[in-house]
Structure 1
Amino acid sequence: MQALLTAIAQMPLPTDACRIFHGRGGLYPGCEQWVLDAFPPVFVLTSFAPAHESTERELSTVGAALAARWQEVAPGQPLNWVFQCRNGQLRTQGLAETRLMAGSVSDPHVVTEQGAQFRVHVLKGQNHGLFLDMAEGRRWVHEYAAARSADRYGLKVLNLFAYTCAFSVVALQAGAKHVVNVDMGRGAIAIGQQNHQLNGLTGRASFLAHDIFSTWGKITRGGPYGLVIVDPPSYQKGSFVATKDYARLMRRLPDLLAPGGHALLCLNAPELGVDFLQDQMRELVPELALVERVPNPAVFADVSPQKALKVLAYQAPL
């Protein structure tokens, strides 16, 4: 785990939420199971490996490294860090799924990213309220909305699978006229509403806690949209399976987009490469033109870019 320890020893004081170390990308042999994130002022260490005899010793080593670096970058301040396992075998061997290793976690826990504030929850569940690998996607949305903030009728955005509505927050901050957020998770949508309130963005967003596939009438009537964001789970039993359901979303795009509008298609499924999206778009919606693949944050570099997060921007004809 030397690469992880080196990343800790070299990390600056984190101010925004960010990834510190991404072993999952395969660039650091022997560290593939480790991920370290900063949700200031809390660090979250995640292991994707089964438990073994040295697990506790490794956690002790990481804890010592964090404590040493923290005293260098934030002398006198308490160290707060959490360990989470993403492997069922760890739990069967007596290790908790999520453990507070040192310090405390405030409630509510609010972090920042590029000037926006978001509520997160690092002590429960595997999704913490803000997907750090989508930071460049949020930057792209912010820049797109800013560039169209002076459009005659304003920019209207549709945010599908909105989760906690981070895309909506950055779009509205950049000058979008209105955002429609749709997600069947009522709890996530409620946090999304709180995120808008945190950032002083009330009155320009709608929140629909509905199954997208049974809400097309309402969604379509709210359009057309200058930007449609599609960021579904790759597999969620009973609601969305990318291999069969993504095509259903693609077919709707021409009816949702305003002339010249853009669609941002996202997919985080290592088993599906970028060709999965591109081939289906060429077949199902050939009138939309591929503009670019939005790069992932540099810290998320992967030995196989095809396995990493895919974020593709398409444009409708004028």
Structure 2
Amino acid sequence: MNSLLNAISQMRLPTDAQRVFHGRGGLYPGCEHWTLDAFPPVFVLTSFLPATDDELATLGAALAQRWQVLAPDQPLNWVFQCRAQGHVETRLMAGSEPEPHSVTEDGARFRVQLLKGQNHGLFLDMAEGRRWVRTHVAAGVAAGGPSFRVLNLFAYTCAFSVVALQAGAKLVVNVDMSHGAITVGQQNHQLNGITTGASFLAHDIFSTWGKINRSGPYDLVIVDPPSYQKGSFVATKDYARLMRRLPDLLMPGAHALLCLNAPELGMAFLQDQMQELAPNLRFVERVANPAVFADVSPDRSLKVLVYQAPD
């Protein structure tokens, strides 16, 4: 636990939402089950193994000591989440969570909820993916594409849509089968003063191709599915169904952003299937993950791959 304690003792006052410590990357022996995130003004400490009361007391004291240095006039707010197999719990350990609670990232605001469920509303490891979208859309619009159109599949709470519209996209079609996630996505647009340009389809993607096709073709297609969600999407069998459709969804010269967060599936899983199922699309680059998410094996970490359709 020393590496986590050391990270706490050296952390700076967080302003944007961000990961503070990433034991899951395997770079800190003995801390592989710990992560610490900042969703200002709340910290979330997560353990993927059962944690003892003594461990939580030690970590809580370390947070309190560092917080006294960083913000002595503000209360410490922190949440503990256990995600051990067979033992899942979320507990408010000190302070409170704002209601409603919104956080910032690169000037954009997003709703989060830390005390219900395992997903908080914003995936911090995708921060560089969102920056890539912002930069890419802005460059496309500046190059003479004022009608820039984006398809956001598995949109979740629509963070990609927010940054694309802020960057100048004319239209973003957001598709996700979760009505609750889409509702939060609509709130995220309102939080950022975005009143036009976004459409929201709370449908199963695989039964909504008619509506998706009517708004296309697109200048950018974002595919960010769960790696495994029973009854919805299983990467090993369902990703291929998406890849086959990509060429028809893309404008000439357009791009696709393919995302996969499954430690057991490496880059070759995506690249080999793309070569077989959409060979005309050219691999451009892998978007780097935030530095704090460094992993002993890049193949285990989040994969965000960029492909381009032929001109």
Q: Which TM-score tier does this pair reach, normalised by the shorter chain? A: over 0.9
Q: Displacement of 1:203 after TM fit?
A: 1.3
Q: Tell me if 1:130 matches 2:127.
A: no
- Match for residue 153 of structure 2? 160
Q: Displacement of 1:90 after TM fit?
A: 3.6
Of residues 48, 70, 77, the one that matches 1:73 is 70
5+ unaligned residues in a row in structure 1: which ranges?
92-96
| Aligned residue pair count | 310
Secondary structure at the counterpart of residue 126 of structure 2:
helix
Structure 1 CA distance for aligned equivalents of residues 276 and 250 of structure 2: 18
Q: Displacement of 1:88 after TM fit?
A: 3.9
Secondary structure at the counterpart of residue 59 of structure 1:
helix
Structure 1 CA distance for aligned equivalents of residues 197 and 219 of structure 2: 15
Alignment of 1:162-201 (within 5 A): 162-201=155-194
Structure 1 segments, 4+ long, off by >4 Å, are none
- Match for residue 290 of structure 1? 283
Of residues 63, 66, 81, the one that matches 1:84 is 81
Output the amino acid matched with 1:118. Answer: F
Output the amino acid matched with 1:18. Answer: Q
Q: Tell me if 1:119 matches 2:111.
A: yes
Superposition CA RMSD, Å: 0.8
Q: Displacement of 1:152 after TM fit?
A: 4.0
- Match for residue 214 of structure 1? 207
Q: Over residues 174-194 of structure 1, what are the superposed CA-to-partner deviations in whole Å (9 max), with x where a residue is unaligned?
A: 111110000000000000000
- Match for residue 216 of structure 2? 223
Q: Displacement of 1:89 after TM fit?
A: 4.0
Of residues 97, 108, 123, the one that matches 1:105 is 97
5+ unaligned residues in a row in structure 2: which ranges?
none
Structure 2 CA distance for aligned equivalents of residues 223 and 230 of structure 1: 15
Secondary structure at the counterpart of residue 79 of structure 1:
coil
Secondary structure at the counterpart of residue 227 of structure 1:
strand
State the percentage of identical aligned residues.
78
Q: Displacement of 1:42 after TM fit?
A: 0.1
Of residues 130, 140, 149, the one that matches 1:148 is 140
Structure 1 CA distance for aligned equivalents of residues 298 and 236 of structure 2: 19
Q: Displacement of 1:109 after TM fit?
A: 0.4
Output the amino acid matched with 1:213. Answer: F
- Match for residue 246 of structure 2? 253
Q: Over residues 256-315 of structure 1, what are the superposed CA-to-partner deviations in whole Å (9 max), with x where a residue is unaligned?
A: 000100000000000100000000001110100000000000000000110100000000
Secondary structure at the counterpart of residue 68 of structure 2:
helix
Q: Over residues 46-65 of structure 1, what are the superposed CA-to-partner deviations in whole Å (9 max), with x where a residue is unaligned?
A: 000135xxx11010011011
Q: Displacement of 1:87 after TM fit?
A: 1.3
Q: In 2, are the aligned partners of 1:226 and 1:262 still within 8 Å (CA)?
A: yes
Structure 1 CA distance for aligned equivalents of residues 192 and 145 of structure 2: 25
Output the amino acid matched with 1:297. Answer: P
Q: In 2, are the aligned partners of 1:266 and 1:309 still within 8 Å (CA)?
A: yes
Q: Over residues 12-35 of structure 1, what are the superposed CA-to-partner deviations in whole Å (9 max), with x where a residue is unaligned?
A: 000000000000000000000100
TM-score by length of structure 2 reads 0.98
Output the amino acid matched with 2:25. Answer: G
Q: Over residues 144-193 of structure 1, what are the superposed CA-to-partner deviations in whole Å (9 max), with x where a residue is unaligned?
A: 01101232442100000000000000001111111000000000000000
Structure 2 CA distance for aligned equivalents of residues 241 and 24 of structure 1: 22
Q: In 2, are the aligned partners of 1:160 and 1:229 still within 8 Å (CA)?
A: yes
